């Protein structure tokens, strides 16, 4: 049974996934608080950094830009890349298994909120070669 206090999470409450391009803090999901149908995370991407083209087989993704500006690429159904400039307030839907990438083109760190449905893609990130665990604050 989940303690009701586990339903409230800040990025600093959880260990972060560190990568060469930034970090991801899973704040909601099966291993954090028992969410079963989705997971969510806060992603930070420093200026000039970004994550390479990738997909999440079997999962949809929602990307919401909290802070900063960058380029978001999402491939169309035929696999052709489509890139848009995104900034705070923009929501991006990534259809199931669709390839996409994000690049911070601004002068300050991008903060992004992401949701995966169903949950799971966030755990696969542990297998990437540049993965490192960053201990939570306090």
Residue 121 pLDDT = 87
Report yes or no on 137 lying in a domain: no
Distance between CA 7 and CA 76 in Å, rounded? 36
| Tokens coding 31 | 């291993």
Q: Which domain holds residue 23?
A: 12-131
What percent of the chain lies above the pLDDT cut of 90?
A: 87
Residue 6 pLDDT = 86
Q: Does the pTM exceed 0.95?
A: no
Report yes or no on 6 lying in a domain: no
Report yes or no on 4 lying in a domain: no
CATH of the domain at 67: 2.60.120.10
Contact 130, 20 (CB under 8 A): yes
**How many domains in the chain?**
1
Report yes or no on 1 lying in a domain: no
Q: Which residues of 104-129 are buried (b: 16+ CB within 10 A; e: fewer)?
A: bebeeebbbbbbbbebbbbeebeeee
């Amino acid at each position: 049974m989940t303690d009701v206090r586990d339903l409230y999470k800040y990025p600093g409450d959880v260990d972060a996934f560190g990568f060469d391009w930034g970090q991801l803090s899973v704040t909601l999901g099966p291993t954090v608080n028992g969410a079963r149908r989705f997971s969510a995370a806060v992603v930070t991407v420093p200026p000039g950094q970004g994550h390479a083209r990738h997909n999440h087989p079997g999962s949809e993704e929602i990307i919401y830009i909290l802070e900063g500006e960058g380029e978001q690429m999402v491939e169309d159904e035929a696999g052709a890349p489509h890139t848009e400039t995104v900034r705070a307030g923009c929501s991006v839907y990534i259809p199931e298994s669709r390839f996409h990438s994000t690049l911070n083109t601004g002068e300050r760190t991008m903060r992004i909120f992401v949701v995966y449905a169903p949950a799971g893609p966030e755990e696969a990130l542990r297998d990437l070669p540049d993965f490192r665990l960053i201990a939570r604050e306090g």
